[in-house]
Amino acid sequence: MASLQNKVAIITGASSGIGRATAILFAAEGASVVLNARGAEALEEVVDAIRRQGGTADAVTGDVGLAETHEKLVRVATRRFGGLDIAINNAGTVGPIKPLADVTLQEWQDTLAANLTSAFLSARYQVPAMLEKGIGSLVFVSSFVGTSVGLPGMSAYAASKAGLMGLVKGITADYASNGIRANALLPGGTDTAMAGDNAQKEWAAGLHALKRIAQPEEIALAALFLAGPMSSFVAGSALFADGGNAAVK
Ligand code: NAP
């Protein structure tokens, strides 16, 4: 039987890369998925692809740095599909690529808004919906950058992604006793738009013990593990899906 049958999942950043692969996998596993990104066209393409394969999907466009986006995502999950079981808080931005002293306050704040404040806002709306059911799984997509390594010019990104680890522990302390599991997923370099051009991907491949970067579908499988019943005793943790990157640092 499909592992997410009768489950309802919010997936942010679902129009591309890891979020898109996760949306398609979760729908194939039986979940009703409520998908988000800012751009409508690419997001609708994912919704259409899922529906063509017999899956159930809906879309909510909006910036994850805004509370109203999460309020609407949860409203669609609960009113249209009857509740919320899973949230893959995946949308993110790489932010400015420059040495720290050249980063403006605005660039810093924009990066934290998209990567960290967005996570607070998502949980702020998702947790109450999960409390209604007495069970839920929150996954925050972090990165190997900020935990395993610092990379030149990526301080704002690294700080925002490392911050997710603290948030996961706090949510666990607050709500695990209510049946809500929160975990961080730390992908290694992954073959998406965010990974840059071929030269950048080749450079990133060399950082990993497997000497390659991931396909987004491989990260989606790790998200499926954290979202579903196979990780029922995994809470407050950080799962590295990083091709051995952390192990060889
Ligand atoms: P991607 O292919 O560029 O996809 C990013 C997705 O997020 C798109 O759907 C984008 O759509 C959406 N998005 C970006 N900013 C948003 C915002 N403010 N509000 C709502 N949606 C937003 O990137 P990806 O590689 O799959 O990245 C997914 C996550 O994995 C990110 O959190 C990233 O930091 C993390 N990660 C990636 C790698 C890697 O090497 N690729 C490694 C480690 C971690 P719109 O632009 O239309 O909004």
Helix (H, G, I), strand (E, B) or coil at 33: strand
Q: Tens digits of per-residue pLDDT, 132-148?
A: 999 999 999 999 999 99
Neighbours of 117 (CB within 10 A): 18
Catalytic choice (157, 175, 225, 240): 157
d(CA 3, CA 169) in angstroms, rounded, equals 26
Name which of 158, 63, 140 is nearest 103 in CA terms: 158
Within-domain flag for 109: yes
> What amino acid occupies position 246?
A
Cα dihedral 115/121/123/124 (nearest 10): 160
Q: Tens digits of per-residue pLDDT, 151-206?
A: 999 999 999 999 999 999 999 999 999 999 999 999 999 999 999 999 999 999 99
Q: What average pLDDT score do residues 216-227 get?
A: 98
The model carries a pTM of 0.99
Neighbours of 97 (CB within 10 A): 14
Within-domain flag for 2: no
Residue nearest to atom 5 of ligand 1 (CA): 13
Report how many domains make up the chain: 1
- What percent of the chain clears pLDDT 70, i.e. is strictly above it? 100
Domain housing 240: 8-248
Within-domain flag for 199: yes
Is there a contact between 119 and 164 (Cβ–Cβ < 8 Å)?
yes
Average pLDDT over the chain reads 98
Within-domain flag for 1: no
Residues with Cβ < 8 Å from 47, sequence gap 6 or more? 35, 57, 58, 59
For position 78, which CATH number holds? 3.40.50.720
Mutate to test the pocket of ligand 1, among 120, 149, 192 (most ligand atoms within 8 A of CB): 192
Neighbours of 153 (CB within 10 A): 17
Q: Tens digits of per-residue pLDDT, 77-90?
A: 999 999 999 999 99
Within-domain flag for 3: no
Within-domain flag for 156: yes
pLDDT band at 12 (very low <50, low <70, confident <90, very high): very high
pLDDT at 1 over 80: no
Within-domain flag for 83: yes
Within-domain flag for 101: yes
- In the numeric block, the tokens 């992954």 are attached to 190
